[in-house]
Amino acid sequence: MGTSRIIDSHIHCGVQHVDLPYEDIEPLLRRDGISGACMFAPVEDIYDRDNFDFQDNHDWRRIRRKANRYLLQLAAEGEPVFPYLFVWNDFAVDELQHPYCGIKWHRHSYEPEYHYEDPRCARMIEEITRRRLPIVLEESFDNTLRFVERLAAEAVIIIPHLGGLNGSYQSLDRAGIWRRDNVYADSALASTTEIRHFLEHYGPEKLLFGSDFPFGTPGQELGKIERMKLAAIDFERVVSGNILALINGVECPR
């Protein structure tokens, strides 16, 4: 397409409980002409996803902080990485003093739950919203509606996989989630049918290219966007312009 930049808006990167070091990811991006990526810590470095009764503790908070700051360090070293803070139930608002570009908020229905009634949760969401940090929100369908409509109604929200793990694309469509001005979607692992429907009904200004590496391959997921045969200006929006505009809107810590 000849676009100047391509940004993968959805990549997992970490070196503690899983082996996903940046030095293994960078060649894959370079091979496919992808010039940068939004990166999140792997879920395995945030909580014990196989233990529904998981209780947080000091050791897990240390692991989590180290995982998040690994991405900050990559960016500080000049790598084309946009680091996201993966939030869990310590709701570590003090971490927002660091120059994260976005937020990862993630659980599946069979995993430990966010403590939404904790006052620290409301404070965390309030500060994220104030800073205009985009939130990549992956939650159950009911909690997605609760989050988008009530808890973080003014926040910038990106729903990954075109909602595939948030209850389904169609369920969110029927609920009117995609019509909200503050809600965006990423294309990671979505079908070309869903991508095309979203583009036709909600526009290229609301879609972000993502791969969900290591679960998706950056080049193959980029190919889905290329097969949409978008006008050059719309292609550029999807593969870099939209996510860069969201990141540029972030209020940096003082």
Give the percent of the chain with pLDDT over 90: 97
Read off φ and ψ for residue 129, nearest 5 degrees: -65, -45
- Residue 4 pLDDT: 72
* Interval 61-91: pLDDT, tens: 999 999 999 999 999 999 999 999 999 999 9
* Interval 158-191: pLDDT, tens: 999 999 999 999 999 999 999 999 999 999 999 9
Q: Which residues pair with 104 in a beta bridge?
A: 86, 136
pLDDT at 254 over 80: no
What is the SS3 assignment for 107?
Answer: coil
Half-sphere exposure of 11 (CA within 13 A, CB side): 28
Q: How far is CA 52 from CA 108, 134, 136, 195, 202, in A?
A: 11, 27, 22, 33, 36
- Residue 2 pLDDT: 53
Locate the domains of the chain by residue range: 7-248
* Interval 110-154: pLDDT, tens: 999 999 999 999 999 999 999 999 999 999 999 999 999 999 999
DSSP 165-201: TTT-HHHHHHTTGGGSTTEEEE-TT--HHHHHHHHHH
- Residue 128 pLDDT: 98
Which amino acid, residue 220? Q
pTM: 0.96
| Domain 7-248: which CATH number of 3.50.50.60, 3.40.190.10, 3.40.50.720, 3.20.20.140 | 3.20.20.140
Q: Do residues 141 and 173 touch, judged by C-beta distance below 8 A?
A: no
